[in-house]
């Protein structure tokens, strides 16, 4: 897809806003969004903007957008896709839906049909912005009263690991959301005992520490941090010397980790009338969706009373699932298959790890220091009669993992979407061996090309 000039970006968004506002209020609009943090944050922004416009609407949160869903949509009902659908344009055209809006930041590899109004920064050379950021800017154009929703855009950015570019993409979002920023160790939550934070921390994944209470005690002892009356301090209560020693100890266990990967900006925002670490809030939203509770995630984003306690309980359960999943990957046994070659790693968890968690595990491994930059990491897990595949490029360098998956899917059948260094696809379980063999061959061929 050929990129257009940057100066057309605002014009395209203004055009989309005008088209949405032109739809009569008595017509119901369907909002369809992805189930990850960015998608949920996007949906929460759009839902609240719709309420303020007094519009009729309904909401669907999807794990993945598939052909059957698209063809099952009502042809005369306007649809707004958030954080998905850029890779389904051919199906949307064939389905004959009359009015479709897509606000998304994923790659476009198909022609945009006439029935689709697209807001996608890739068309204008602005590739590093989350869908929640786009939806916020869109809704801000609808009405300035939506400025208070800026904090949800920040949660979506962090959920999509885009906080490193937040200054470039800010567009006033930090100021609108009254976000406070401070420097600190990039693990969370800052308000909990440091030993518990380290035990359930997975980004960065620390070999011998994550999920290992005994390893944590040794790490803290070497850092000069001892429990008082049987309890450790919280991160926010560590003094400067203790924090420096802790960072040093973590780096010694992750020799390839750079200081900038451990220490960075912490974003604090007001949520449920309390100042919170945005990373923790983002993780709680993600946990709800990954454990099949997207409605709780949406209520949490909208600060519905009672939603926080439910989200906290789900988050605790999710962390246990994640630690167990990482353990399966670290010590593969039974049905888990680990295939490693020069420049690539394939982990086929089959039904040992939830399909909603397998992508997170791929991200954790790609952000760890266990693998060289440019390594392609692919994780696989069963759901129904299909396989959820997630691919990541370590260090966001090297081969285009979306192109690798796209090439294979053309042979095996299935659906693919995502970005250059973070992509995924769906393939039938009947094609499992064929897919893996094609993946290995593709990775090896690509390696030779480099």
> What are 84-117's pLDDT values in tens digits?
998 889 999 999 999 999 999 888 878 899 999 9
Task: Name the most confidently modeled range: 27-31, 183-187, 206-210, 218-222.
Answer: 27-31
Whether a cis peptide bond, with omega within 30° of 0, leads into 204 is: yes
Condensed to tens digits (0 to 9), the pLDDT of residues 177-194 reads: 788 887 777 787 777 889
Q: 337-449: which CATH topology?
A: Diaminopimelate Epimerase; Chain A, domain 1 (3.10.310)
For residues 1 and 362, give the distance between their C-alpha atoms in angstroms, rounded to a whole number. 28
Specify which residues 381 forms β-bridges with.
388
5-23 confidence digits (pLDDT tens): 457 888 889 999 999 999 9
Instruction: Report the pLDDT value the prediction gives residue 176, as an integer from 0 to 100.
Output: 84
Q: Token pair of 240, please?
A: 């400067």
Q: What is the pLDDT of residue 164?
A: 57
Task: Give helix then strand counts, H and E, for the chain.
Answer: 18, 14
Average pLDDT, the chain: 86
Q: Which helix (H) or strand (E) holds 275?
A: strand 274-277
Which pLDDT belongs to residue 207?
77
Strand partners, 238: none
Residue 12, burial from CB neighbour count under 10 angstroms (0-12, 13-18, 19+): middle
Cβ count near 175 (within 10 Å):
11
What is the per-residue pLDDT for 259? Answer: 54
% residues pLDDT > 90 (the chain)? 44
Which has more pLDDT, 419 or 202? 419
Give the tens place of pLDDT for each residue, 296-319: 999 999 999 999 999 999 999 998
Q: Which top CATH class is 6-176?
A: alpha beta
pLDDT of residue 71: 95
Paired with 377 in beta bridges are: 345, 392
pLDDT at 232: 93
Tell me the three-class secondary structure of 4-67, residue by residue. Answer: CCHHHHHHHHHHHHHHHHCCCCCCCEEEEEECCHHHHHHHHHHHHHHHHCCCCEEEEEECCCCH
Output the pLDDT for position 212.
87
Largest CA distance in the chain: 67
Residue 449, pLDDT score: 46
256: pLDDT confidence band, cut at 50, 70 and 90? Answer: low
Average confidence (pLDDT) over 340-369: 87
- DSSP one-letter string for 397-446: -SS-HHHHHHHHHHHH--EEEE-SSEEEEEEEGGGHHHHHHHHHHHHHHH
Q: Which of 241-250, 322-331, 374-383 holds the top average pLDDT?
A: 374-383
More confident residue, 74 or 397: 74
Q: Which pLDDT band, with edges at 50, 70 and 90, does 134 fall under?
A: very high
> 336 pLDDT exceeds 50?
yes
The answer to whether residue 34 scores a pLDDT higher than 90 is: yes
Domain extent listing, the chain: 6-176, 181-326, 337-449
Model's pTM, two decimal places?
0.76
Residue with more model confidence, 124 or 213: 213
């Amino acid at each position: 897809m050929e990129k257009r000039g940057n100066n057309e970006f605002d014009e395209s968004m203004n055009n989309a806003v005008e088209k949405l506002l032109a739809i009569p209020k008595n017509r119901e609009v369907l909002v369809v969004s992805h189930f990850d943090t960015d998608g949920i944050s996007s949906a929460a922004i759009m839902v609240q903007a719709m309420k303020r416009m007094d519009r009729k609407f309904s909401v669907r949160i999807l794990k993945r957008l598939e052909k059957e869903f698209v063809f099952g949509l009502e042809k005369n009902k306007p649809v707004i896709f958030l954080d998905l659908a850029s890779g389904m344009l051919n199906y949307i055209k064939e389905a004959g839906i009359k009015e479709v809006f897509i606000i998304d930041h994923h790659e476009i590899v198909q022609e945009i049909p006439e029935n689709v109004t697209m807001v996608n920064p890739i068309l204008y050379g602005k590739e590093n912005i989350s869908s929640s950021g786009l939806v916020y800017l869109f809704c801000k154009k609808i009405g300035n009263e939506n400025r208070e929703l800026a904090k949800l855009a920040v949660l979506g950015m962090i959920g999509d690991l885009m906080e490193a570019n937040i200054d470039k993409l800010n567009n006033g979002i930090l100021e609108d959301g009254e976000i406070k920023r401070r420097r600190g160790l990039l693990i969370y939550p800052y308000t909990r005992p440091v030993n518990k934070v380290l035990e359930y921390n997975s980004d960065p994944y620390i070999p011998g520490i994550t999920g290992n209470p005994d390893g944590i005690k040794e790490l803290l002892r070497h850092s000069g941090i001892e429990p008082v009356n049987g309890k450790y301090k919280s991160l926010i209560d560590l003094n400067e010397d203790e924090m420096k020693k802790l960072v040093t100890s973590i780096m010694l266990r992750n020799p390839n980790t750079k200081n900038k990967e451990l220490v960075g900006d912490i974003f604090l925002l007001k949520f449920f009338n309390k100042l919170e670490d945005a990373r923790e809030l983002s993780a709680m939203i993600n946990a709800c969706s990954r454990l099949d509770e997207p409605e709780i995630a949406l209520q949490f984003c909208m600060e519905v009373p009672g939603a926080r306690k439910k989200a906290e309980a789900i988050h605790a359960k999710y962390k246990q699932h994640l630690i167990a999943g990482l353990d399966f990957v670290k010590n593969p046994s039974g049905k888990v298959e680990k295939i490693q070659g020069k420049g690539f790693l394939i982990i086929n968890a089959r039904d040992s790890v939830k399909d909603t968690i397998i992508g997170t595990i791929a991200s954790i491994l790609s952000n760890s220091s266990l693998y060289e930059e440019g390594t392609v990491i692919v994780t696989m897990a069963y759901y129904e009669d299909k396989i959820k595949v997630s691919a990541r490029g370590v260090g966001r360098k090297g081969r285009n993992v979306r192109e690798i998956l796209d090439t294979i899917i053309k042979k095996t059948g299935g659906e693919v979407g995502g970005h250059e260094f973070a992509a995924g696809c769906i393939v039938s379980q009947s094609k499992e061996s064929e897919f893996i063999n094609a993946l290995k061959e593709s990775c090896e061929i690509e390696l030779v090309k480099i």
